Amino acid sequence: MSRNEPRPWHILGNPDCRRVARFQAALNQQDQPTAHLIDYASILGGSSSLAESLASGTLLRIESAAESYSTRRMLLAYGYDRAMAEGYQAASPQQIERHTSAASIEFKPRQLYLGFQRLLLELDQACAASDCLPVQVPSDIACMYDKWRCQKLMAEAGIAVPKLLGRITSWDHLRDLTGSDGRYMVKMAHGSGGVGCIALHWSRGRVRAFISSQTLAMAAPELADLSVPIQVLRDERSLAYVIEQLAPEQIHLEHWLAKAKHQGKPFDLRVVVIAGRPRHAIARVGRSPFTNLNLGGQRFSLDQLDVPDRMNLWSQVESISTKVANCFPQTLSFGLDLLITPSGQLSVLEVNAFGDLLLNVLSEGQDPYAAEIAATEAWIQSRYRDHSETGVAVA
């Protein structure tokens, strides 16, 4: 390959994934060859090996596996031995095969994560052996997919996050930490789209819990009303049951920080960070404590927001994005969910390994995928001068 010739790309993903299709289209728009697709199913099913699929000097992009129900089932089976080893009540391959719940309902998220973590470890080793150049280090993806671990990393780096109060093992444990007053968030380590998150408001010993119907469908199906995105629980006995069901999936408690408001509704930001810079951003405005678009949140541009000093806000976004990127120096891009307090301070809510799917959002004329491709070579030169050191163990 000549110095001016673009490096070939490989993508680990699902064939029918819209993310893969959009990245391929972005490559074609920049006159780069279509990436070679490494199908999750072929690797997990054993018909192909990672060692055979990767080549020296090629770039590897890892895409989300979550949009394919069949891939999620294969990852569950891949995580069975690890889940059993840590004492988790794992679903056997036979039980996974018989599982008939709706594809949109989370099933055994801890086991699913352990299967993905195992694959990431194998991928990390294969990249090191083949001299392939991943634009997301597998260990970083594993960290980002573990909310507790990732937020602890942010806090230890001096980055503002909601105060972490501890992992929760039971309802009684949670009650010991909350007392009878205050606002708290329960978060499941490996949830996405608001699944496994509960906003708790205690006042004079009484509680209101805001919870997604998808979370209830996973933890307490008899309480779930899938016709609405968010439900409110006031019955402490029902809430205790939900917490007990979620605890084995690894949940933690943190302070529920108030969010700034747009037209009287709370909002936060989703930012795509590329090569250490925030490039694309939207605001998500919610009718509840949750602003996720799948939970009824509305999307706005930053120019539409009711904020007193937009330039100062973006300066803060740049500063915190750089700090987070420094925690993951060998990962080209990620999504960053940022909370803005009513006083204008920023706090990291979540780092999203696959948070770059922002449709119809341009920066310098490029969508996130085009911007990532354009930034890759200079980023590779600065970060991977000795790419033999990129193999980092997945914890």
pLDDT of 98: 84
In this prediction, residue 101 carries a pLDDT of 65
Which tokens belong to 174? 């949670």
pLDDT tens-digit profile of 248-272?
999 999 999 999 999 999 999 999 9
Q: How far apart are the first and last CA of the chain?
A: 35
User: Which residues, at least 6 apart from 55, have a Cβ–Cβ distance to it below 8 Å?
Assistant: 8, 10, 130, 132
Per DSSP bridges, beta strands 346-352 and 333-340 are: antiparallel
Mean pLDDT, residues 162-185 taken together: 96
> Does the structure show a pLDDT above 90 at 242?
yes
Q: Sheet containing 182-188: which strands, arranged edge to edge?
A: 164-168, 251-255, 182-188, 198-203, 206-212, 230-233
The model's pTM is 0.94
Quickly list DSSP for 228-240: SSEEEE--HHHHH
Q: Of residues 244 and 3, which shows the higher confidence score?
A: 244
**136 touches 332 (CB < 8 A):** yes
Task: State the average pLDDT for the chain.
Answer: 93
Q: What does the pLDDT read at residue 104?
A: 64
Tell which phi-psi region holds residue 54, choosing left (phi > 0), alpha (psi between -120 and 50) or beta: beta
How distant is the alpha carbon of residue 295 from its chain centre?
16
Alpha helices in the chain (DSSP H): 18-29, 40-45, 50-53, 69-78, 80-85, 93-98, 109-130, 138-144, 147-156, 171-178, 213-219, 236-246, 310-327, 368-383
The CA–CA distances, whole Å, from 94 to 40, 90, 101, 110 equal: 20, 11, 15, 18
- Per-residue pLDDT, 390: 41
Position 66 confidence tier, pLDDT thresholds 50, 70, 90: confident
pLDDT recorded at residue 395: 42
CA atoms of 307 and 337, how far apart (whole Å): 17
The whole-number pLDDT of residue 308 equals: 81
For the ranges 72-86, 164-178, 374-388, the lowest mean pLDDT is seen at 374-388
pLDDT tens digits, 77-126: 999 999 999 999 999 999 998 886 666 678 999 999 999 999 999 999 99
DSSP string, 309-363: -HHHHHHHHHHHHHHHHHHSTT--EEEEEEEE-TTS-EEEEEEETT----TT--B
Q: If pLDDT is split at 50, 70 and 90, which confidence band does 161 have?
A: very high
Q: Is the pLDDT of residue 34 over 80?
A: yes
pLDDT band at 3 (very low <50, low <70, confident <90, very high): low
- The residue among 179, 361, 343, 183 whose CA lies nearest residue 270 is 361
pLDDT at 393 over 70: no
pLDDT band at 306 (very low <50, low <70, confident <90, very high): confident
- The arithmetic mean of pLDDT across residues 342-367, rounded, is 96
CA distance 111 to 108: 5
Q: What is the pLDDT of residue 383?
A: 80
Confidence of residue 386 (pLDDT cuts 50, 70, 90): very low
pLDDT at 333: 98
Q: Under a CB-based contact definition with an 8 Å cutoff, are residues 123 and 62 in contact? A: yes
Averaged pLDDT for residues 202-226: 95
* Cα–Cα distance list, 65 to 21, 95, 137, 156 (Å): 14, 21, 16, 29
Percentage of residues in the chain with pLDDT exceeding 90? Answer: 88
Longest dimension (CA), the chain: 70
How far is the C-alpha of 149 from the C-alpha of 257, rounded, in Å?
19
pLDDT of residue 5: 83
Let me know: does 208 contact 234? Beta carbons within 8 Å: yes
